[in-house]
Amino acid sequence: MNADAPAGLLLAIDLGALARNWKRLHDLSSPAECAAVVKADAYGIGIERAVPALAEAGCRKFFVAVPEEGERVRAAVADAAVYVLNGFFAEWAGYFRAFSLRPVLNSLKSIEAWAGHCPGAPSVVHVDTGMNRLGLSLHEAVGLSRRPELLAAASLEMLMSHLACADDPGHPLNKTQLTLFREVRGEFPRLPASLANSAGIHLGRDFHLDLVRPGVALYGAAFAQDRAPLEIVATLKARILQIRDAAAGETIGYGATRHILEDTRIAIVSAGYADGYHRMTGSSDKHPGAQAMLRGQRVPILGRVSMDLIAIDVTAIPGASEGDWVELFGPNMPIDEVAAAAGTVGYELLTGLSRRAARHYIGADAS
Ligand X SMILES: *Cc1c(COP(=O)(O)O)cnc(C)c1O
Q: Closest separation between CB of residue 346 and ligand X, Å?
A: 10
Q: Closest separation between CB of residue 163 and ligand X, Å?
A: 8
Of residues 153 and 180, the one with the C-beta less far from ligand X: 180
Q: Helix and strand tally (H, E) in the chain?
A: 12, 19
SS3 48: helix
Q: Closest separation between CB of residue 231 and ligand X, Å?
A: 16
Q: Closest separation between CB of residue 174 and ligand X, Å?
A: 14
Contact 64, 84 (CB under 8 A): yes
Per-residue mark of binding to ligand X, 189-228 (x: CB under 6 A): --------xxx-------------xxxxx-----------
Of residues 198 and 281, the one with the C-beta less far from ligand X: 198
Q: Distance (Å, rounded) from C-alpha 115 to C-alpha 155? A: 8
Of residues 197 and 283, the one with the C-beta less far from ligand X: 197
List the one residue from 7, 37, 178, 246 that touches ligand X (CB under 6 A).
37
| Binding of residue 72 to ligand X (CB under 6 A) | no
Q: Distance (Å, rounded) from C-alpha 124 to C-alpha 48? A: 25
Q: Distance (Å, rounded) from C-alpha 335 to C-alpha 349? A: 8
One DSSP character per residue, 53-86 reads HHHHHT--EEEESSHHHHHHHHHH-TTSEEEETT
Q: Closest separation between CB of residue 18 and ligand X, Å?
A: 14
Q: Which is the catalytic residue, given 39, 61, 219, 347?
A: 39
Of residues 84 and 309, the one with the C-beta less far from ligand X: 84
Q: Distance (Å, rounded) from C-alpha 354 to C-alpha 125? A: 33
| Binding of residue 291 to ligand X (CB under 6 A) | no
Helices (H), 147-236: 148-153, 172-186, 198-201
Of residues 38 and 293, the one with the C-beta less far from ligand X: 38
Angle, CA 252 vertex, CA 247 and CA 257 arms, to 5°: 120
Contact 178, 162 (CB under 8 A): no
Task: Give catalytic status of residue 254 as yes or no.
Answer: yes
SS3 101: strand
Of residues 34 and 311, the one with the C-beta less far from ligand X: 34
Q: Closest separation between CB of residue 181 and ligand X, Å?
A: 13
Strand-pairing partners, residue 252, are 258
Task: Give catalytic status of residue 277 as yes or no.
Answer: no
Q: Closest separation between CB of residue 40 and ligand X, Å?
A: 8
Give the containing element (helix H, strand E) for 350: helix 346-351
Q: Which residue is nearest to ligand X (CB)?
A: 215
List the one residue from 36, 42, 81, 85 that touches ligand X (CB under 6 A).
85
Of residues 39 and 239, the one with the C-beta less far from ligand X: 39
Restricted to residues 129-168, the positions that interact with ligand X (CB under 6 A) are 162
Q: Distance (Å, rounded) from C-alpha 74 to C-alpha 1? A: 22
What 89-93 contacts at long range (C-beta under 8 Å, 24+ apart), as own/partner pairs, is 89/113, 90/116, 90/117, 92/67, 93/117, 93/118
| Binding of residue 270 to ligand X (CB under 6 A) | no
- HSE-CB at 84 with a 13 A cutoff on CA atoms is 27
Give the residue numbers annotated as catalytic, written as ranges.
39, 254
Residues that bind ligand X (CB under 6 A): 37, 39, 85, 162, 197-199, 213-217
